[in-house]
Structure 1
């Protein structure tokens, strides 16, 4: 019965567990696993260590809970490194990191027993080769030598020799751009002649016979990457590829430098074009601001503004045609139509100061001056022309200047004044200023300033001078020296200390950045403070008419009065008339105006 049961258990793969002691007789049967996995060796069946294992001092005994046959064999150096089991502190090219082994399927007869068909292979720290079983005694037979220069060295010396004499090349782009390529054998900078240098000085390394494999074949090792070949021609082609890589890397660096230079040149050209475009736009903006953009002159602006007034319902069509006809007649004759003129203001001021304003100690007034304001044709740019009309109106009322102005008996229109300035340029006055306007003013909206007024007056034989107050002379950007100069200009005619003095002095042309006005008098308060009286072309005729009323209470003078704290521009220029020129003096001033100068204060 027992024999039949034992045969049945053997057929089904079941058996009773062995009885370690007599008290385990009733243990339950277990399923046998030997049919699926190899038997795990127990601690009792572990083989005894061999004499070689006992003699190796650097190997430590396995842990008591593991089997030596399942432990990864210790890494040993190849036979040509001396057979020691030393580990590299820094892996070379192709070698794994220290402490890491690669596992490969074991070949026939290579897997140690009990490893389940997997062989633990050790890679060389220097060349990266997979070594056979570490216990083979043939690994320690020969002395190690350098695979690149065949130098016989010890293990440690060989590692240092490989790191210093044959360092690995850096990553792409690590070499400085433009630096010549270095020889892989001697490190000499060879540049583009690297291939010729290697063949000339190290040709023996390229064609040197290799080692014998034992079966009659010669092995040739590449001096650059340690690749082993059995054919010398294949090795030469392989080395040529290395040399071509060096040349390509050098050529690539040169091409990169050329590309960078080309990109930088293109960027500079783009910035230059953008700067030129910006300058052209700024110049066009300045041309539009100063009326030099060829957008038409007085006539075109007058018609355009009248059409706009008709469109807005502020002007009737019949009035449009009437004013257009008057404007065309004025342009044809060259005489101002007088639509913007206000006369008698100086006389009204003289009466007012004599009867009112007790806080004024002295007041000096210019000779009779008519006020002219801007019209539809010159609004925004005609202040200089209007101020010249004011100055000329005073000169025409003074018989002292009749000889100079016998050809100009009436106030000219703005287009006529432009033509008169062009005639002065043609005579040779201020050629530098003429070039600024391209010698043309008529038909434009060009602004004029003190230099153009000086050239025009001098061409008419009127003696004048330009005074330049080029910087502030008082606190908070004020110009007290300007007020003092104007006071001296008028006070020379003060006789007997009269309160109101109507002098024979012409008005003064006052220019600053962006605008100009006409000085017609100056007040001296009882506290010795000074106040200028100015005619502004921006004031309309309706505002100026308030000064002509009999019951003027002085509020209208606010349009004329400017105290020291009211004039805070950085620079002021004035044109003051001071007599008549002879023909010789006119010619001398014309020659002197080749480089126009002014008197600077301070």
Structure 2
């Protein structure tokens, strides 16, 4: 159903970032995005995370997403404005091997902008155009609504949820644990699953959840790909035994962990799960 303009208000810099009212991004940024290749994409990170977690004696249980997940980071000099698109690329890449209509495996940011506006044209979450004033060719931030519109336009079922208030972080962790543990082949201590990563929006930033771990103390941590950070050089190839254990392994894991304490800093989250039954 098409959105009625009076039901929604135009968002500003708090939600859309410093370029909330931009009509056209600078030409050098547009060219950088147009010429994007695979240099900011890394495959094989999930198997390395599995190895690191298997060597961490404090981990009681862990669940990780599909091995097809690709870690994608922002490009040098693109600025801190396209994290939402990088997370969309990570979900897209995880699905591309099983959903042929999503080829190529990683559309550019500019292509994603066009696809989201096409979804709005088709009446899918088209209130997004009112809220943003349009995103094509700009550095306006995008989030769960735009991500949902994109995947629904490809007939890929997905489920969005909102958590708010003092228990928001606990509710988020419960959702993630249920999502990954409900998959097949989850009888071991560290479990690889067939699950697609989860899009997570927290205030001012979005990241991709690739798993969850439960410590012997009962505390839980999210395992994430954060597009704001480049992968450590060590995970760019299969990890050696020495790099997987002790303080070296802990340093690598630290880059991928989001603790309960970290999550407790925020009182609102939005998630988007891909329904793999769809």
Query: 2:95 corresponds to which residue?
Result: 395
Q: Tell me by how many angstroms 1:548 deviates.
A: 4.6
Query: 1:371 corresponds to which residue?
Result: 71
* 3-state SS of paired residue (2:275): strand
CA distance in 2, matches of 1:577, 1:444: 27
CA distance in 1, matches of 2:218, 2:38: 39
Q: State whether structure 2 residue 183 is matched by structure 1 residue 484.
A: no
Partner deviation per Cα, 1:194-218 (whole Å, 9 max, x = no partner): xxxxxxxxxxxxxxxxxxxxxxxxx
Residues 151-550 of structure 1 aligned to structure 2 (within 5 Å): 289-296=18-25, 299-301=27-29, 330=35, 336-354=36-54, 356-368=55-67, 369-376=69-76, 378-397=78-97, 399=98, 402=99, 405-438=100-133, 440-473=134-167, 479-493=169-183, 495=185, 497-542=187-232, 545=235, 548-550=238-240
Q: Tell me by how many angstroms 1:521 deviates.
A: 0.4
* 3-state SS of paired residue (1:484): helix
Relative to structure 1, the CA distance from residue 494 to residue 339 in structure 2 (aligned partners, 3 Å threshold; closer, same or farther) is same
* 3-state SS of paired residue (1:289): coil
Report the RMSD for the aligned CA atoms in angstroms.
Answer: 2.5
CA distance in 1, matches of 2:186, 2:70: 28
Query: 1:566 corresponds to which residue?
Result: 262
- Aligned residue pair count: 260
Q: If the length of structure 2 is used for normalisation, what is the TM-score?
A: 0.84
Query: 1:575 corresponds to which residue?
Result: 272
The answer to whether the Cα contact below 8 Å between 2:186 and 2:193 also exists between their aligned partners in 1 is: no
Q: Tell me by how many angstroms 1:365 deviates.
A: 0.4
* 3-state SS of paired residue (1:520): strand
Relative to structure 1, the CA distance from residue 545 to residue 501 in structure 2 (aligned partners, 3 Å threshold; closer, same or farther) is closer
Relative to structure 1, the CA distance from residue 288 to residue 564 in structure 2 (aligned partners, 3 Å threshold; closer, same or farther) is closer
CA distance in 2, matches of 1:547, 1:574: 30
CA distance in 1, matches of 2:125, 2:186: 42
CA distance in 2, matches of 1:547, 1:291: 39
CA distance in 2, matches of 1:533, 1:285: 27
The answer to whether the Cα contact below 8 Å between 1:547 and 1:556 also exists between their aligned partners in 2 is: no
The answer to whether the Cα contact below 8 Å between 1:468 and 1:571 also exists between their aligned partners in 2 is: yes
CA distance in 1, matches of 2:176, 2:14: 36
CA distance in 2, matches of 1:501, 1:421: 34
Partner deviation per Cα, 1:478-523 (whole Å, 9 max, x = no partner): 6212111110111112547311211101000000111000000000
Partner deviation per Cα, 1:393-438 (whole Å, 9 max, x = no partner): 11123x2xx2xx4252321000000001011001111121111233
CA distance in 2, matches of 1:287, 1:495: 40
Q: Tell me by how many angstroms 1:380 deviates.
A: 1.2
Query: 2:3 corresponds to which residue?
Result: none
* 3-state SS of paired residue (1:350): helix
Query: 2:5 corresponds to which residue?
Result: none
Gaps of 5+ in 1: 1-281, 304-323, 331-335, 582-602
Q: If the length of structure 1 is used for normalisation, what is the TM-score?
A: 0.41
Larger Rg: 1
Partner deviation per Cα, 1:110-157 (whole Å, 9 max, x = no partner): xxxxxxxxxxxxxxxxxxxxxxxxxxxxxxxxxxxxxxxxxxxxxxxx
Relative to structure 1, the CA distance from residue 406 to residue 293 in structure 2 (aligned partners, 3 Å threshold; closer, same or farther) is closer
Gaps of 5+ in 2: 1-10
Partner deviation per Cα, 1:305-359 (whole Å, 9 max, x = no partner): xxxxxxxxxxxxxxxxxxx7xx65x3xxxxx4112112110011122333x1111
Relative to structure 1, the CA distance from residue 563 to residue 341 in structure 2 (aligned partners, 3 Å threshold; closer, same or farther) is same
* 3-state SS of paired residue (2:201): strand
The answer to whether the Cα contact below 8 Å between 1:284 and 1:293 also exists between their aligned partners in 2 is: no
Relative to structure 1, the CA distance from residue 284 to residue 504 in structure 2 (aligned partners, 3 Å threshold; closer, same or farther) is closer
Relative to structure 1, the CA distance from residue 434 to residue 377 in structure 2 (aligned partners, 3 Å threshold; closer, same or farther) is farther
* 3-state SS of paired residue (1:386): helix
CA distance in 2, matches of 1:484, 1:572: 13
Relative to structure 1, the CA distance from residue 544 to residue 371 in structure 2 (aligned partners, 3 Å threshold; closer, same or farther) is farther
Q: Tell me by how many angstroms 1:577 deviates.
A: 0.8
The answer to whether the Cα contact below 8 Å between 1:302 and 1:376 also exists between their aligned partners in 2 is: no
Greater relative contact order (Cα < 8 A, sep 6+): 2
The answer to whether the Cα contact below 8 Å between 1:385 and 1:417 also exists between their aligned partners in 2 is: yes
Q: Tell me by how many angstroms 1:288 deviates.
A: 6.5
Query: 2:4 corresponds to which residue?
Result: none
